[in-house]
Amino acid sequence: MPYSSDVAAAEALTTSYQKLKNEISKVVIGQDDTVRLLLTAIFCQGHCLLVGVPGLAKTLLIQTIAGALDLDFNRIQFTPDLMPSDILGSETLDQERNFKFIKGPVFANIILADEINRTPPKTQSALLEAMQEYSVTIAGQKYSLGRPFFVLATQNPIEQEGTYPLPEAQLDRFMFNIYLDYPSYQSELDIVKSTTSDKRYDVQRVITGEEIRDFQQLVRRVPVVDNVVEYAVKLVHKTRPNTDMASTDANQYLEWGAGPRASQALILAAKCNALLMGKYSPDIEDVKAVAMPILRHRVVRNFKAEAEGISVEQLIKRLL
């Protein structure tokens, strides 16, 4: 690492984060929490799922973040007729009638999987190996993906027509499930003013792939005191119904709780959140700051919760 110490590297990360926020805010108005979580996932080497109705700038936000990072970027528009080979690539015959592998759009540093739940599970699952193993297998041959590698996916709410729910195994691979709500009145005024004029803003690239890899290693080196780790693991255990540490709400309203990936994600994200806030070690407040988007997609409500209109978010808030 080109820094004299981890403290210097931590300060460089905080500075880079502020620069990234400034560049992104040229194009995307509001959504500060969403930007913070997306950048946290990138510095933690995690994947993100953005959920919201059409028109909330999910795609624009990811494209803008990609523009501020000096990385290869590909966008895949998921449709009902998309095939796995359209994502991963396929073997074709060349002029000498030899098989040659043509790489698909997944071979980039940042993948925007747009409207990921518009395509059937067969095609959704094509991303699973890439997200977990950072490689793809075609015709028995394994191909490694470049690092860093992130999947930033957008999704329309499942209730809308023509969508396929993501399999639980794939949902678990996403570090964060970020829910985008409608902008406030003032934010929407600013959005309309800026997008209906002839002004164009150029987003500058402020951080390279090598710097991102360095920061990812730095995040993992951040020390954490035992009581913070214990708090995170207890929080996850509370979501598991009919276990020794299950909360009353989990036993009453949850069909399924979060797995060990949630505990790992809570600590990694808390470490990064502390660094972005200018601290050198996370506390329990940092765990709480990232708990909702980490747990939201990893717990499953039972029929009673649905019948009584109790949302996943309400249950997580009670646990916190």
pLDDT(39) > 80: yes
Return the DSSP state at 44.
Answer: T
pLDDT in tens, 134-181: 998 887 888 899 889 999 998 877 666 667 888 777 888 999 999 988
Task: Check: pTM over 0.85? Answer yes or no.
Answer: yes
Query: Strand 69-70 vs strand 207-208: parallel, antiparallel, or unpaired?
Result: parallel
Pick the closest to residue 283 from 294, 267, 296 (CA basis): 267
Q: Is the dihedral of CA 114, 116, 118, 124 positive or negative?
A: positive
* The pairing of beta strand 174-179 with beta strand 47-51: parallel
In terms of pLDDT, which residue wins out, 16 or 53?
Answer: 16
CA nearest neighbour of 57 among 25, 84, 83: 25
pLDDT tens track for 93-130:
777 778 888 889 999 999 999 888 888 888 888 888 88
Determine the Cα–Cα distance for residues 49 and 293; give it in Å rounded to an integer. 9
pLDDT, tens digit, for every residue of 177-230?
999 888 888 888 988 888 888 877 788 888 988 999 999 999 999 999 999 999
Whether 1 has a pLDDT exceeding 60, the answer reads no
Cα of 85 vs its chain's centroid, Å? 24
Contact 106, 113 (CB under 8 A): no
Contact 152, 112 (CB under 8 A): yes
- What mean pLDDT value characterizes the chain? 88
Structure tokens at 182: 């409608």
For 146, other C-beta atoms within 10 Å of its C-beta total 12
Q: What mean pLDDT do residues 21-33 have?
A: 85
pLDDT (mean) for 294-315 = 92
Query: What pLDDT, on a 0 to 100 scale, did the predictor assign at position 187?
Result: 84
Residues 6+ apart with CB under 8 A from 182: 53, 56, 188
Minimum mean pLDDT among 198-202, 215-219, 276-280, 310-314: which range? 198-202
pLDDT computed for residue 253 by the predictor: 92
Compute the distance between CA of residue 205 and CA of residue 69 in angstroms, rounded to an integer.
Answer: 5
Residue 235 has pLDDT above 60, yes or no: yes
**DSSP bridge partners of 50:** 154, 178
Residues in the chain: 320
Rounded Cα distance between 68 and 206, Å, is 6
